[in-house]
Structure 1
């Protein structure tokens, strides 16, 4: 097998795990929906089980994505990315990148809230960079409560409690780069370099 094929095959497991976690689905729920055992799904995601058409077809149906998206097959001729919005936590995430692992890019849309929201900060592994495209973002990170207007950017370690919402009751659109492995996604600041 050539190197490109090996890379595509090795990327299937991490891509499936990232998609499942991003959709907020447990292995048990996925097993029930697809009819594939939980242990087989786990081995498939960890790379201990090789992907087959028999395993990938029910996953593609469940996730409602083309089979090519699950395996990361290169598209022939057409360089466009076909965007499938994901609705989660009352927000819309539009994936802008398709490679497994590493930096993931999303357009995030926070709708205008029906009533004032009380921040409920969460934590997870990784590092996040965001840029406000439209609206005014309220960003709570640790003890800081910030308002970012259109054109401002922020970056933070997502192991710190954080929350994103509308600062003025109107919709907000963001560009977000997220790295689940915790690598920095924006290189304005080097954590090993002393501040000036």
Structure 2
């Protein structure tokens, strides 16, 4: 594998998702000694200190997403193998995803949504924004947190233009998924902070703050945080049809 700079694989964790805007948990100064707080991604909701009800809500969300994916697939008369060939995601993983018990990553959801002719945004329930307003408030944006150590905030979705604008955050070692995926369309990304390695067809490209990358989503790709701090990037997915 050739490299433009450096690369390091990211670990695999259990995935879950929630929608809505989340707030960073504050450190509990009165925490009993000897107890170590969980890091982001250690809980199903991927939120430090999240209560059990948040975990249950995240699991329920993934079950609803899985059911929506299955309904879309059947409506288009596609088999699991058809979707697997379009995305690079295994049939067994897709089956678990539809049943709401998979370890689906953001990359997997993006690829599966594209294979079904929609954006990942369309797989989730959303808060209604102001009719006719050109502004999408933060509270109206959909947030998806995954156990792979990533958070994807869909800042804007334009179905007519086939465009989805997202702000992605990657914890230390976080990644878009355990392996590369592919789907229709094109992607454009600009790194705001931290460091990201984009793997394309076996070649790694390391981004530093301010760097931009553009590529066809049909190329097998994976995004990983190979730096020593949280990475934040703005990502645009565009349909080419």
Superposition TM-score, scaled by structure 1 size: 0.53
Shift of 1:168: 2.0
Matched, 1:105 2:165: yes
**2:144 paired residue number:** 86
Question: Which string of whole-angstrom CA distances, capped at 9 and with x for unpartnered residues, describes residues 162-187 of structure 1?
Answer: 110112242110000111x236xxxx
Alpha carbons of structure 1 residues 80 and 169: separation in structure 2 relative to 1, 3 Å: same
Larger radius of gyration: 1
**Counterparts of 1:141-180 in structure 2 under 5 Å?**
141-179=200-238
Shift of 1:25: 6.8
Question: Which string of whole-angstrom CA distances, capped at 9 and with x for unpartnered residues, describes residues 63-120 of structure 1?
Answer: 4533x35xx8424xx9342223112454111111132241211000011128x99962
Superposition TM-score, scaled by structure 2 size: 0.44
| Number of aligned residue pairs | 130
1:122 to 175, 181, 187: 181
Contact 1:119 1:140 in 2 (8 A): no
Any unmatched runs of 5+ in structure 2? Answer: 1-60, 77-122
Alpha carbons of structure 1 residues 100 and 31: separation in structure 2 relative to 1, 3 Å: closer
What root-mean-square deviation, in Å, do the aligned CA atoms of Structure 1 and Structure 2 show? 3.8
Contact 2:149 2:172 in 1 (8 A): no
CA distance in 2, matches of 1:63, 1:119: 22
CA distance in 1, matches of 2:236, 2:176: 24
SS of match in other structure, 1:29: helix
CA distance in 2, matches of 1:90, 1:80: 25
Alpha carbons of structure 1 residues 29 and 111: separation in structure 2 relative to 1, 3 Å: same
CA distance in 2, matches of 1:42, 1:148: 40
Matched, 1:65 2:126: yes
Contact 2:136 2:156 in 1 (8 A): no
CA distance in 1, matches of 2:198, 2:168: 14
**1:29 paired residue number:** 67
**2:199 paired residue number:** 140
- Structure showing greater relative contact order (alpha-carbon pairs closer than 8 Å, 6 or more residues apart): 2
